[in-house]
Structure 1
Amino acid sequence: MTARNGGAYLERLRTHSPELWVGSEKIVDVVGHPATAGAAAEIARLYDLQFEDGNEDMLFEPADGDGPVGVQFLEPRSREDLEQRHAMHKKWADSTLGMMGRTTDFVSAMLMAWNANADFFGDNADKVRDYFRHVRDNDLFLSHAIADPPVDRSKPASRQPDPYTYLGVKEQTAEGLIVSGAKMLATAAPYSDEILVWPFSLRKFAPEEKPYAIAFAIPTDAPGVRLICREPFGGGNAFDQPLSSRFDEMDAVVVFDDVLVPWDRVFINQDYERVNRIWEINSNAFTGAQTSVRLMAKLQFVAGLAKRATEVVKTDQFPQVRDALGEISTYIELTRAAILASEAGATPNQDGVLFPDLRPLYAIRNSGNRWYPRVREILQQILAGGLLYQPADVSAFDSPIASDLAKFYRGPDNSSVERISVFKVAADLAVSAFGGRHELYERFYAGDPMFLRINTQFNQYDWTEPLGLIDGLLATSAEHARTAGSAEPDRTDGGAAA
């Protein structure tokens, strides 16, 4: 099989819808339900991008395949390959305005790193390689679930009130592992074909955590798998909720109720030492590239939105507004520079696959979680009461107060419809529940910001150059001190006067 289009994606989702719960309602049709239909349609549009005229560079033919597949599965072996992947990520991110963080090019980037460093998995290395080809050749949409539910963060998995609070192995059978428990927070899981599951924890796994040290893949519609979703923000109309109606990328807790994971999908089986070393796969090199490109697209969208909204009401002439917009554009260019630096510093692994330089990608990951809340704050500050000024919904234009809207909601050079449409977008991002979720997402999608920065910018950082500079100065200072100390005392009259 080869790359699929949006219609094929939606058809498979219709026939393989997961068990999905929104409150007390069980959704049986993800494609058609108002809470999930908008995002499903947007994901289908991403698949269609691969076949649009001018996007031929979004497909390639692997040597071990049967036809063209998506560039998200391209293992880069040259600078041109890295640039092609960069362009693919940017087209997908631009298409969703950076609003969908877990489009399938994120988990496929992770899986590609697993494939490139499959030897890490020992006896299961060929299972990882086979699964990568399966996902690639069927162009599957993957989500992932890696964190544990926050029942008692002070205790490890083995000391939770129920041994299967966190996802663990209950039994080994001839067919595979029987697992129970939960994982979170599977963003975009309702729209995915399969879920990649592995344990992410800042706490090192001890021998007693062995049953929880597992990594596997499972179809979202596998028996015993159910998704418990947060409150949906979608379902509105495209005028009043221009972003949330299309891009509400649902988050879910994944519950595993005695789920059978076939042996060919088990990649790590109760190997706590291997789980503690899983960072060696270096998947952050590729997921970091995707998230950085997406962040750049999102910042560009916010910058464009802020500039257009201030143009509409003529506040773009004020120096404080220009300074604020300039702050956003600074973040854009720092992100762009980091992406290019990561590509320029890419190094091959033992099989010749080029892995982007992690250092600038980590720097962006550790900055973007602070920048995005700041740019959302900028929107609130420069648009102020205008974010709360809009009529409740589009029906007001066809009501007895339509003339009031025409008079009091127009701008200096634009109609009330034009002005309101811009500010509806801004309000959806700056003050809605959808916008609040996005701020929380950017803060925490990669983990706790403080520990993330400690681990990547302190513990794992190469301090050779910074320390070399201070050590060089101290060595020079010591040499000067020795030279001064060995100098002959001044025997002149002027020197003796002291």
Structure 2
Amino acid sequence: MSTKNEETMLPLGNGVRSGKEYLEGLKDDREVWLQGKRVADVTEHPGLNRSARTLASFMDRQSDPKYRDTVTFEQDGKQIATSFLVPKSKEDIIKRGDAFYEWAKWSNGMFGRTPDYKNASITAFYGGAELLEEGGKQFADNMRNYYHYATTNDKVLTHSLLNPTVNFELSKQGKSDKDVSLKVVKENDAGIFVTGARLLATLGPQADEVEVFPSTLLNRQKGSDLEYAFAFVAPVASPGLKMICRDTYDHAKSHYDAPLSSRYEEMDAVVIFKDVFVPWERVFIYREPDLCNRAFAQNHAVTQMMHQVVCGKLAKAEFIVGLLCAMAKASGKDKDMNIKGQIAEAMFMTETLRSLRFSAEQHAHEDEYGNYIPLRRPLDTSRNLFPKMYPRLIELVQLLGSSSLMATPNEQDLTNEIADDVDKYFQLQNLESKDRIALFRLAHDLSVSGFGGRQTLYERYFFGPPNVMHAIYFDLYNKDDMMDRVNSLLSEA
């Protein structure tokens, strides 16, 4: 095996890309399967193209003077996404938070895997690259080189953390199913070859590259199965790599009829690898199970990613509060004490998230690598609370909307022979029929459509199974000081 990487073949780019450049980058030989057929072009397929174009519009905003100072920073004369900023002060942490929040507002939190999410991961691995030297200096150098490649080329990454579960008992023991789990099948002087499956690549078909890093939740890389212990990034268009998608929730409806799913349908896909070649320069951990299990926590990638997440969930909760208030005002229910109480509950959740973000940023501190990180505990709290909050937020939309969520004619009914009936019978106290239907179609898309159901499921399991996440929180919590107070009181008896 040759791991010499004194020179990288990864070319440097010119900084943030335009939306057009992003879309052109998707026109390659990637193998994406959707609804029984191979997709010829993800930028043209009706189930994928509108979300890709939405993301392209976000890429354009990076160069818009209105947003540029927030979502980018200058490095070596190039504008780089702020999510790639290695924080060296509390002010840098706050700047990153403002950029995460701005990106999230563009989709009202409906895109859970905007590029800044994985950018935070890559940046943390770069900032703590010396940890990777435990496996060999060349792997740390690979990460440093890849960071510069990703930042200057403004790459859009997805990730796939988990092996498929075939035998649940084996999975609980942290063992990989040898028939389906992704593993290294051979290596040579140029790189490694991998075969197997990983899930779940959200935004995968519309991404440039897929990050294949070890899971932090299930600790699957145990024992002597070294062929399962690795971390690498591969282009989505790598020969032998295919993505198998779920059904699309973009049903080619107008923005009026489906205001969310027509814009923000971020596809999920299972990634299949069949003898996929990965050059050594794209490999960051290899045959180091213990390092695989420790990497995300020890280089603080989890903390930096959680920072992006709390900003995104805040934007999403704010949007739902706005929707609830608009629904109540339209019907005149905003004067009802019970309705006020229900909406106030959503406001409580929103302000809790805002406070947790503020606490994490204000208590940012220097880590062992000389970088700054947000305080982890508030972020851990937010990622455990929001999976409980979100279903309740959706329930509040359903309770307030009730039958109005179903009394939602199609946009075409506004101009056909029944238009007069629609105009007369679908109005509300404070809203004309056209605007009332638009508002409640939005609420429908969020709370009862297939798109909305996927959003709720996604939020329940965003960071992993709730019982696992709660157990991790319990283990990390500083319980001793509190128990000491209890014991101190009891000792005085």
Q: Is the Cα contact below 8 Å between 1:164 and 1:180 reproduced in 2?
A: no
Structure-2-length-normalised TM-score: 0.93
SS in structure 2 at match of 1:288: helix
The one-letter code sitting in structure 1 at the alignment partner of 2:37 is E
Q: Counterpart of 1:28?
A: 40
Name the CA distance, whole Å, in 2 between partners of 1:178 and 1:56. Answer: 40
Q: Is the Cα contact below 8 Å between 1:17 and 1:30 reproduced in 2?
A: no
Q: Counterpart of 1:354?
A: 372
Q: Counterpart of 1:56?
A: 68
Change (3 A) 1:159 1:368: closer
Deviations 1:345-401 (A, max 9, x none): 21112332101111000000000010001100111111111111111x211112221
Q: Counterpart of 1:418?
A: 435
Name the CA distance, whole Å, in 2 between partners of 1:353 and 1:78. Answer: 7
Change (3 A) 1:17 1:291: farther
Q: Counterpart of 1:255?
A: 272
Name the CA distance, whole Å, in 1 between partners of 2:125 and 2:17. Answer: 23
Name the CA distance, whole Å, in 2 between partners of 1:114 and 1:207. Answer: 24
SS in structure 1 at match of 2:16: coil
Q: Is the Cα contact below 8 Å between 1:205 and 1:275 reproduced in 2?
A: yes
Alignment of 1:2-401 (within 5 A): 2-14=15-27, 16=28, 18-57=30-69, 58-62=71-75, 65-122=76-133, 123=136, 124-156=139-171, 160=177, 163-200=178-215, 201-203=217-219, 205-234=221-250, 235-278=252-295, 279-391=297-409, 393-401=410-418
Moved more, 277-286 or 165-174: 277-286
What count of residue pairs does the alignment treat as equivalent?
A: 470
The one-letter code sitting in structure 2 at the alignment partner of 1:76 is P
Name the CA distance, whole Å, in 2 between partners of 1:110 and 1:286. Answer: 7
The alpha carbon displacement at 1:207 in A equals: 2.2
- Gaps of at least 5 residues in structure 1 are 479-498
Deviations 1:207-246 (A, max 9, x none): 2332111110000001011100011001321111110000
The one-letter code sitting in structure 2 at the alignment partner of 1:416 is S
Name the CA distance, whole Å, in 2 between partners of 1:313 and 1:276. Answer: 53
SS in structure 1 at match of 2:194: strand
Q: Is the Cα contact below 8 Å between 1:144 and 1:187 reproduced in 2?
A: yes
Q: Is the Cα contact below 8 Å between 2:257 and 2:441 reproduced in 1?
A: yes
Deviations 1:416-469 (A, max 9, x none): 10100000000000100100000000000100111101112x111111331232
SS in structure 2 at match of 1:171: strand
Deviations 1:101-138 (A, max 9, x none): 10000000011110111111121111111111110011
Name the CA distance, whole Å, in 2 between partners of 1:421 and 1:139. Answer: 36
Q: Is the Cα contact below 8 Å between 2:175 and 2:221 reproduced in 1?
A: no
The alpha carbon displacement at 1:164 in A equals: 3.9
Deviations 1:4-60 (A, max 9, x none): 12111111112x362110121111211111101111111111111111123232221
Q: Is the Cα contact below 8 Å between 1:158 and 1:208 reproduced in 2?
A: no
Name the CA distance, whole Å, in 2 between partners of 1:386 and 1:413. Answer: 15
Name the CA distance, whole Å, in 2 between partners of 1:348 and 1:165. Answer: 41
Larger-gyration structure (1/2): 1
Q: Is the Cα contact below 8 Å between 1:2 and 1:66 reproduced in 2?
A: no
The one-letter code sitting in structure 1 at the alignment partner of 2:369 is D
Deviations 1:61-107 (A, max 9, x none): 22xx3522111111111222112111111111000010001000000
SS in structure 1 at match of 2:196: strand
Give the % identical residues.
32
Q: Is the Cα contact below 8 Å between 1:121 and 1:268 reproduced in 2?
A: yes
Moved more, 200-209 or 294-303: 200-209
Name the CA distance, whole Å, in 2 between partners of 1:421 and 1:86. Answer: 32
- Gaps of at least 5 residues in structure 2 are 1-13
SS in structure 2 at match of 1:33: coil
Q: Is the Cα contact below 8 Å between 2:110 and 2:316 reproduced in 1?
A: yes
The one-letter code sitting in structure 2 at the alignment partner of 1:24 is G
